[in-house]
């Protein structure tokens, strides 16, 4: 099942963290460092090479997090990575 793939699971987890920040309803202790760690977890998987631009989008999301870009922007880039992996948007 494509939805069971580890990379998709990890990207969805990162999206959930970012969305929690974007919606203002997340854990107060959630920091950019934790989001960056979640994205790095995704980058460690070889599976991300299966989709064109997945690594690039994840790298951009990581840079955006480090640069203090708005959470919505980071989320958009992660959604793009998920889509580039061939995963649906609706399972997040």
Partner 1 sequence: MALHRVHGLAGGAKLVTAAMPERLSASLVFMFGGGSRLEDERHAGVSHFIEHLFFKGTRRRPTSKEIADAIEGVGGFINASTDKELTAYWTRVPAEHVELGLDVLIDIVSNSKLAPADVERERSVILEELRMYQDQPQDLVQNLFEEIMWPDHPLGRDIAGTQQSVARLTRDDILEYADEHYRLPNLVIGAAGAFGEGEILEAVRGRLALAAEPDGQPIAMPPEPLRDPRVLMRRRKTEQAHICLGVRAFSYLHPDRYVLDLLNTVLGEGMSSRLFLNIRERLGLAYDVHSFTQKHRDTGLLGVYLGVDPKQAVGAVNAVVAELQNLCDHDLADEELVRAKEFTKGRLRLELESTNGVSFWLAYQELLIGSIKTIEEEVALVDAITAEDVRRVATDVLRAPIQMAVIGPFAKDLPFRTAVGA
Interface characters, 20-59, with partner 1 (x: CB under 8 A): --x------------------------------x--xx--
- What is the length of the chain? 92
Q: From the list 45, 60, 62, 65, which residue makes contact with partner 1 (rule: CB under 8 A)? A: 60
Cβ proximity to partner 1: between 48 and 60 the closer is 60
Cβ 41 to partner 1 shortest distance, Å: 20
Q: What CA–CA distance (Å, rounded) separates 67 from 61?
A: 10
């Amino acid at each position: 099942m494509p939805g069971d793939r580890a990379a998709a699971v990890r990207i969805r987890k990162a999206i959930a963290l970012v969305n929690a920040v974007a919606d203002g309803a997340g854990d107060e202790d959630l920091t950019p460092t934790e989001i960056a760690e979640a994205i790095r977890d995704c980058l460690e998987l070889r599976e991300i090479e299966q989709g064109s631009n997945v690594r690039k989008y994840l790298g951009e999301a990581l840079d955006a997090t480090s640069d203090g870009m708005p959470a919505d922007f980071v989320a958009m880039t992660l959604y793009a990575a998920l889509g580039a992996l061939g995963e649906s948007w609706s399972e997040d």
